[in-house]
Structure 1
Amino acid sequence: MARAFNARVRHREFNPGDLVLHITPVSRCKFVYKYDGPFVVRETFSGGAIILSDMNGTENILPVNADALKKYYP
């Protein structure tokens, strides 16, 4: 069962400087945006943690899991 699941998993790779969208934790209704952003990737770690910053350059202190991000193409 694990082999079948792992065969369909798409690995996401983020590099510093990429633009990403962050999934909002709570969607109150179906008309609310599901993503916040765009954010800029500042640093990536091996375990899948990523440090983001706003477009203005203010860096977020807490890292974000790569599963909660989606690449943004302007």
Structure 2
Amino acid sequence: MYQKQMIRAYNKKVRPREFHEGDLVLKKILPIQKDFRGKGAMILTETDDKNLPNPVNSDSIKKYFT
């Protein structure tokens, strides 16, 4: 019963995010990490088509609207 309550509370707050190629995003500045594996790893590119050196976890970025 406790687990069902926790699942319900978690699902209430979770919002799915979709990113498509060409979307502008803001990236959190985090301390350097040696291990880049994880769920939702994304390779970001700057506006001048240069790839950033390391993949970024999707929970550390959000969409940027102009």
Compute the TM-score of the two structures, normalised by the length of structure 2.
0.69
In terms of fraction of residues, the more helix-rich structure is 2
Residue by residue over 1:31-70, the C-alpha shift from the partner in whole angstroms, topping out at 9 and shown as x without a partner, is xxxxxxxxxxxxxxxx411110111111123211111011
Tell me the TM-score normalised to structure 1 length. Answer: 0.63
Runs of 4+ in 1 over 4 A off after TM superposition: none
Structure with bigger gyration radius: 2
Q: Name the CA distance, whole Å, in 1 between partners of 2:14 and 2:61.
A: 15
Q: How does 1:1-74 map to 2 (within 5 A)?
A: 1-25=6-30, 47-74=39-66
- Structure 1 unpaired stretches of 5+: 27-46
Which digits, 9 at most, give the CA deviation of each residue in 1:2-46, with x for residues without a partner? 3311221111110111000001126xxxxxxxxxxxxxxxxxxxx
Q: Considering Cα pairs closer than 8 Å and 6+ residues apart, tell me whether 1 or 2 has the greater RCO.
A: 2
Number of paired residues? 54
Could you say what the CA RMSD is over the residues aligned between the two structures, in angstroms? 1.5
Q: Tell me, which stretches of 5 or more residues in structure 2 are unaligned?
A: 1-5, 32-38
Q: Which has the higher strand share?
A: 1
